[in-house]
Structure 1
Amino acid sequence: MKREIITYPNKRLFLKSEPVQEFNEELHTLLDDMYETMIAYNGVGLAAIQVDIPLRVMLVNIPDENEEQKKEDLLEIINPELTFLDDEQITCNEGCLSVPDFYEEVTRNKNIYLKYQDRFGNFKELEARGFLAVAIQHENDHLNGHLFIEKIAYSKKQKFDKEFKKNLKAKKKNTQAKK
Structure 2
Amino acid sequence: MLKTYEKRDKFKNAVKKGYGNNYLMGPNEVNLKSQANMSPGRAAWMLRTYLIPLKNKYGYKLVSPSTANGNSALTWYDSFRKTAPDVWSKIDAINVHYYGLDANLVTAWMEKFHSRYGKNIWLTEYACHSFTGKGKCSSSQALAFMKTIAKFCESKSWCETHMIYG
TM-score scaled by length of structure 1: 0.25
TM-score scaled by length of structure 2: 0.26
User: Which structure has the higher relative contact order (CA within 8 Å, separation 6+)?
Assistant: 1
